[in-house]
Amino acid sequence: MTATASGTGYIAISRRPLDLEDYIDVARRHVAWIVGPLFMGLVVSIAVAFLLPNVYRSEAVIQITPAQISEDLIKNTGNQLLTDRIIQMEGAILSRTSLSNLIQSADLNLYPQDRAKLPIEDVIEAMKSKDLKIDITNAAIAGKHASAFKISFQYVNRFKAQQTVQKLITRFIDENQNTQRTQQTLLHDFFGDELAQAKANLEKANEELTKFRTENQGRLPEQSQMNLTTLQSLQNQVNGINDQLNRLAQERVQLEAHLSTLKSQLDLTTMMSQEPEALPNSPMAKQNIELETLNRQIEGGESNLALLLQSYKETYPDIRDLKKRLGVLKRQRDDLKAKQERELADEAAKPKTPARKATNFQFAQSQTALQGQIDGTNALLKTNDSDRVYKLKEQEKITKQIEEYRNRLVGTSAIEAKSVDLLRDQANAAEKYQTMLRKQELTAQNGDLIQRKAGEALDVLDPASLPTTPSSPNRWMIVGGGVALSFFLGLALAGVQEAKDTSLKNLKDVRAYTNLPVLCSIPLLENTLLLKRKKRITYLAWSAAVIVGIIAICSALFYYYSYTVNQ
């Protein structure tokens, strides 16, 4: 709803709040925009839901029966974890070659349409990701819990789904037997070679240890603990000296900054006593003070930068930020110097007037006091330098002592390290020999169990099921979702049409937007011929849409009951 203002344009007027009667009127006015998408969504969702083929899921459960002889008597040398065994067999059975042979087998002939359009690799990946699942479960058998895993496969043909699961069960059982035999053969050969190598290594380690003890008799590192204690004490002293040097460096930075301030004050006092234009309120004096401030900031920043560079690299964030600030300060200082030079050149070009010199006893006293403070600060700087030189010499002396004790420990550790290495090698060799001996014995025992079929085996707990009802799709959920979505779409379209229509709909709108009393209302008079033609066209359009929708729904239902239910 809009209204003119002074004939120059339009101003927006907010709509009045709608009540329940208004919403009903909106739905009545735009019923076609609501019912049309709703009917279209119903037809499309029913057609899609019943044109989708049924997918049947066949499942089977295989349990891993443990060995008939307790592991307390004979320990199993194979993979003890169920997940490891399943992954090993799954990798072989679900390989590209194995699944390709399964899909293209004459009795199954899976995914013929997909194989006609896509490479076999894509068909295999789709089968592994969507249709074929292997899940680990726990199955209770006669009061005992045994590890088991479930094989499930879904396909449009329920008989082929069952046959596929049955073939996978057979392959798992065969692969388990072949894996156990191959594993025991490999283990027997491997442990035999490892046992021979372990025995040779043990004999060699014993000879080397005996030779080392004979050659280094009496050269044991008894002083290692004392040397280590002394070295730790010297390192603590060095750390203390480093702290003192850092404090001296900070003190020197502060003294230098203080000295720079005193010198600036002295120079300013001297200029004030000699030149009238050097008064604090003059532009030249203010520029000199600002220049001295910038110089002090730059000197302090460079001192801090030097301290940071002693401990960190140039890529340290604080160092990079400090360099940027120093660059900004230096540019400001250079700009101020250039400005002063230009002003001095302008002053030199002007005719000179005799300057009046003034003497002031207070200026002389200030200069004397400042000079005394400068001398005292210089004395403190010299003392700081002498202390720093002394600490550096002491640090160098202690560093040499630390290097000496480190060399002692290195010499001692060379013998001790070699002795420890030889003892460790001898112990490791003996342990490995005993381990290989036990494993070879266990491998031989497990080989006998497999030959007697008393080892771990795979048994079918639940055979491949023949599904009677499809697992997907959920047709009524698809229909309900499509109808709900189309209904909300129709409401949105009706709302858009109502928002675009800015005319007054009823007496409430007239009273709300004109603030005038309504005496009576005149109904809208339209052309009867145009109304009849409009109704006829609407009736024909809806009739055609309903007929097409009924045909589409009937076709989908006919396809479903002809090709899916009777499969």
Write phi, then psi, for 538 (nearest 5 degrees): -65, -45
Record: fold of 56-196+453-462: Alpha-Beta Plaits (3.30.70)
Q: Which of 194-198, 238-242, 342-346 has the lowest mean pLDDT?
A: 342-346
How far is it between the farthest Cα atoms of the chain?
129
Going from N- to C-terminal start, the domains of the chain cover 19-52+473-564, 56-196+453-462, 224-436
The pair of structure tokens assigned to 224 is 């290692």
Rounded Cα distance, 97 and 220, in Å: 65
Q: What pLDDT sits at residue 98? A: 87
Q: What are 26-85's pLDDT values in tens digits?
A: 777 778 788 888 888 888 888 887 877 888 889 998 877 766 655 555 555 555 455 566
Given a cut of 60, is residue 359 above it in pLDDT?
no
Q: What pLDDT sits at residue 358? A: 43
What is the mean predicted confidence (pLDDT) over 136-140? Answer: 55
93: Cβ contacts below 8 Å, ≥ 6 apart: 168, 171, 172, 175
Given a cut of 60, is residue 1 above it in pLDDT?
no
What is the mean predicted confidence (pLDDT) over 467-493? Answer: 84
> What's the mean pLDDT when you consider all of the chain?
75
**Angle formed at CA 514 by CA 512 and CA 517, multiple of 5 degrees:** 85
Given a cut of 50, is residue 139 above it in pLDDT?
no
Rounded Cα distance, 416 and 425, in Å: 14
Given a cut of 80, is residue 430 above it in pLDDT?
yes
- Which of 13-27, 277-291, 465-479 is the most confident on average? 465-479
Write phi, then psi, for 106 (nearest 5 degrees): -65, -35
Write phi, then psi, for 275 (nearest 5 degrees): -120, 130
How many Cα atoms occupy the beta-carbon half-sphere of 547 within 13 Å? Answer: 6
Rounded Cα distance, 104 and 115, in Å: 9
Is residue 524 very low, low, confident or very high in pLDDT (cuts 50, 70, 90)? low
Is residue 140 very low, low, confident or very high in pLDDT (cuts 50, 70, 90)? very low
DSSP structure class, residue 263? H
Q: What pLDDT sits at residue 566? A: 55
Q: What pLDDT sits at residue 3? A: 45
* pTM for this entry: 0.44
